[in-house]
Amino acid sequence: MKIIFFLFLIIYPNSVKTLEEYSIEISVKEEQENGTIIIDLLSYIPTLTNSNGYLIKFVRPCQNLYIDNQNHNLIRSLKIDREEICPYEINCLLNCNLFLQKSKEEMKLIKLKINIEDINDNKAKFKRRFYSYELDENLSLNYHLQLEQAEDKDLFSKNFYSLNISSSSSFPFQLNYNEENHLLELILINKLDKNTKKYSFELIVNDNENEIDDKCLIELNILFNQQLNSYPPEFEFKSYKFIIYNFNQTFIGQVKIKNSKENNPIYYRLISSSSSLEENFNLFQINEKTGQISFKENNFQTKNLNEISSYQIFIEAFDLNYLSSLTTVEIYFNFTNSFLQQQNQNYFIEILIPKLFQKKTNLDLNSNEIFLKENLTNLPLTILQLFISTSSSSSFSSLFNISMNSTTLSSMELNSYFYLKQINDDNEQKSFELILKKSFDYEIMKLIHLDFILNQNNFTRKSLTVFIENINDCQPTFNQTKFRFQIKENSHFPFLLYTFQAQDQDELNNIQYYLKTKG
């Protein structure tokens, strides 16, 4: 808006003698009727006794707002749906600028900020009408089964959940809604009845205590003499701690579960307490399949971290049966001060990667990405060279040391895969080779993050990402080995008998099917 005014003043440099600027901030509830008066300019501008003689216009059209045709000092609104204008923001603001011109010599600029307040005008809705879960008969007490919650477009509405149990037999679960962590769960409070094969009930949601918003049917099928997939995934650690040393760093770390099974994939998602929900979701993200946590692009650099030392977030891991568990992730910031950085600017780390381990489309000896095929056989293998140099005015101290860390591998795993071997030692440059001791399996691990740190002070660092490339090393398998079909006589041909589908862990999508007959 200021650009338009500056242009006006340039065109008429001797015309406009006074330019007054006003800032007005008001709040308006959504869903008010068309034509509702939201502001009377006479109430906010003391010098504006009436609008007669003033030309009042929006600098540019303002969404859902218009000027009264009869009384120009009144600003009216069309019906405003907050969820349509701001579907994802907690604070919904409309910024509109107006100018009032009485003559070529007098002009007023009004900066109008309108806060659209949310009202409870939407009902909570479940995504599905029916949910089915499979549970093992030997579940232990205090077992938690997470349920999918209803969606409510109203950000600040408070939902209440209840159960309608139709079965006459005792119901061994208790419904629990943790509003702070946004979790809806069934908790096993009594042992499962050996004679009950299924529990059916309605889950009801309402955002006041009288009227039902929506309901869905839930069915719990009890599996007897079967232990498979009956327990929730378990994280390797109850809590994780990651430290951020570099302001330009985007990757934070990775969480994993113990003993993941290929036939029961695990997914990860970020959850948080209600007080920091918006901030954490705007700042962090997690890969739902790998559990890798990172900063959202550009958001981390725009934060003012001078007064922030750490963040705490919660990660949930769940499988296809909606069995889940939580872990806590603490993220600390350790940015170096300018003095210590200056002390370490005399040292430099360079990494040289052979062309064999680079992408052909981006051959750069100084790249920070290396590509290795899975299941390499010619091991041990040198995969890069690392050079540490010092300026001519300084030399390496006796306390010189370089360490290798990883946010995706434990220290034991790191030492089992890699070995950093020193090949040159003098006062101006030291060189190392990174040797790969054993190969990676793409189906287990797809990438590794490495950090080379000088003197363990975290000031001189070099980061590297190792990408594991997939090869066709797994045989496709059917979910069963024998099939039997019954075909009725006088059937009309051709007709679909069965659709065969094989699973290939290589994920290369190059499976070919053919028939082989006996005799």
SS3 88: coil
Quick check: 136 and 110 in contact, CB under 8 A?
Answer: no
Which residues does residue 203 pair with via DSSP β-bridges, in sequence order?
163, 216
| E strand intervals along 30-167 | 36-40, 55-58, 65-67, 74-77, 93-103, 106-117, 130-136, 144-146, 160-165
For position 276, what pLDDT does the model report?
52
Query: Which is nearest to 268 in space by CA: 303, 240, 248, 244?
Result: 240
Relative to beta strand 106-117, strand 18-29 is parallel
Query: Which is nearest to 76 in space by CA: 61, 60, 65?
Result: 65
Query: What is the pTM (predicted TM-score) of this model?
Result: 0.38
Identify residue 302 by its one-letter amino acid code. Answer: T
Q: Which residues of 396-424 are buried (b: 16+ CB within 10 A; e: fewer)?
A: beeeeebebbbbbbeeeebeebbbeeeee
DSSP string for residues in 284-297: EEE-TTT-EEEEPT
**Domains of the chain listed by start with CATH number:** 2-117 (2.60.40.60), 130-223 (2.60.40.60), 239-333 (2.60.40.60), 338-469 (2.60.40.60)
C-alpha–C-alpha distance, residues 163 and 480, integer Å: 39
C-alpha angle 95/277/146, rounded to 5°?
135
Cβ neighbours of 216 (radius 10 Å) = 18
- Tokens 């949910």 label which residue? 131
Query: Which is nearest to 159 in space by CA: 205, 211, 100, 125?
Result: 205
For position 65, what pLDDT does the model report?
86
SS3 396: coil
Rg of the chain, C-alpha, whole Å: 32
SS3 41: helix
Dihedral pair phi/psi, residue 153, rounded to 5°: -70, -25
For position 396, what pLDDT does the model report?
57
C-alpha angle 326/328/332, rounded to 5°?
160
For position 436, what pLDDT does the model report?
92
- CA distances for 211 relative to 128, 160, 206, 247, angstroms: 20, 11, 6, 51
Q: What is the Cβ-side half-sphere exposure of residue 237, based on CA atoms within 13 angstroms?
A: 11
Q: State the first-to-last Cα distance of the chain, in angstroms, to the nearest integer.
A: 84
Cβ neighbours of 248 (radius 10 Å) = 7
DSSP string for residues in 157-208: ---EEEEEE--SSPP-EEEEEETTTTEEEEEE-SPPPTT--EEEEEEEEESS
For position 366, what pLDDT does the model report?
54
For position 98, what pLDDT does the model report?
86
For position 128, what pLDDT does the model report?
87
C-alpha–C-alpha distance, residues 197 and 184, integer Å: 23
**Tens-binned pLDDT, residue by residue, of the chain (519 aa):** 333 333 333 334 445 556 778 888 888 888 888 888 888 888 887 667 665 667 888 888 888 888 888 888 788 888 888 878 777 677 888 888 888 887 666 788 888 898 888 877 778 888 888 888 888 887 888 888 888 888 877 766 677 888 888 766 788 999 998 877 678 889 999 988 878 888 889 998 887 656 778 889 999 888 875 544 557 788 888 888 888 776 667 888 889 887 666 557 888 988 765 445 556 667 888 988 889 888 886 555 545 554 566 788 889 888 876 677 888 888 887 765 443 444 445 567 788 888 888 876 555 555 688 899 888 888 898 988 888 776 544 555 544 677 788 877 888 888 899 998 888 766 667 888 899 999 988 878 888 888 888 764 445 678 888 998 888 767 777 777 777 777 776 666 666 667 777 776 666 566 777 777 765
Relative to beta strand 347-352, strand 324-333 is unpaired
Cβ neighbours of 207 (radius 10 Å) = 17
